[in-house]
Amino acid sequence: MNTKKKINWSEYLEPNEKLESVPALTLRQRRHRAEQRLQQPLNYNEAYEEFSGEQKEELHKYVIKIMKQVQAEISPTASIPAAVMEITVHKVAWCLFSFKKGWTQSVFDPRGELVGGTYFADVIGKDIVADTHEFSMEKSQTFSTLYRELLRILDQRYGEHLSEDKTERRAATDIKKELAGEYVLPQEQTR
């Protein structure tokens, strides 16, 4: 009796690839790399390179759509530097969408959880909370909805077991305070 488990080669296909059009050697190499990844975490560069172009394109389209909505909702006379708005909206939309899709990867150098192939979600809370407060970005209903949903996810993932890393601890603490309505922008933060 043959007890060998049958391999599902379709697990190793890229989006829009057909099993019959991919060489067997390529599939075996992908399977081997996948097995190695399970045994050893990636560093940031490896994780970034493994994040597919299709995923990045889907994320970029989503972020652009959200950016346009937020810009339309926030008065053009608002005193929010364009770069701050773009970066903050990008972080919130990119990370939330990636969490919903399950596009996360633990990495070891530097240590953390990479979300959407780009951001370390365990530390972004510090910046997004401060920038949101400093520039009153919740004037945008779209931004506020996404921001609050992301904060709840971040709190669930990283808020229970506070890290000894001071940046991670600060991010988790700021998120908890923000969700409780107790966050106060530090004096050194104001520009």
DSSP structure class, residue 153: H
Query: Taking a C-beta distance cutoff of 8 angstroms, is the pair 137, 80 a contact?
Result: yes
User: Residue 79: helix, strand or coil by DSSP?
Assistant: coil
Q: Are residues 103 and 18 in the same domain?
A: no
Q: Are residues 170 and 126 in the same domain?
A: yes
What tens digit of pLDDT does each residue of 36-80 get?
Answer: 655 555 666 777 777 778 888 999 999 999 999 999 998 776 778
The residue among 134, 14, 142, 6 whose CA lies nearest residue 74 is: 142
Query: Taking a C-beta distance cutoff of 8 angstroms, is the pair 169, 123 a contact?
Result: no
Q: Are residues 68 and 139 in the same domain?
A: yes
Q: Which domain holds residue 20?
A: 1-40
What tens digit of pLDDT does each residue of 93-144 get?
Answer: 999 999 999 988 888 777 788 899 889 888 898 899 999 999 989 999 999 9
- What is the distance between the alpha carbons of residues 28 and 36, in angstroms, rounded to a whole number? 12
pTM of the entire predicted model = 0.74
- What is the distance between the alpha carbons of residues 127 and 33, in angstroms, rounded to a whole number? 35
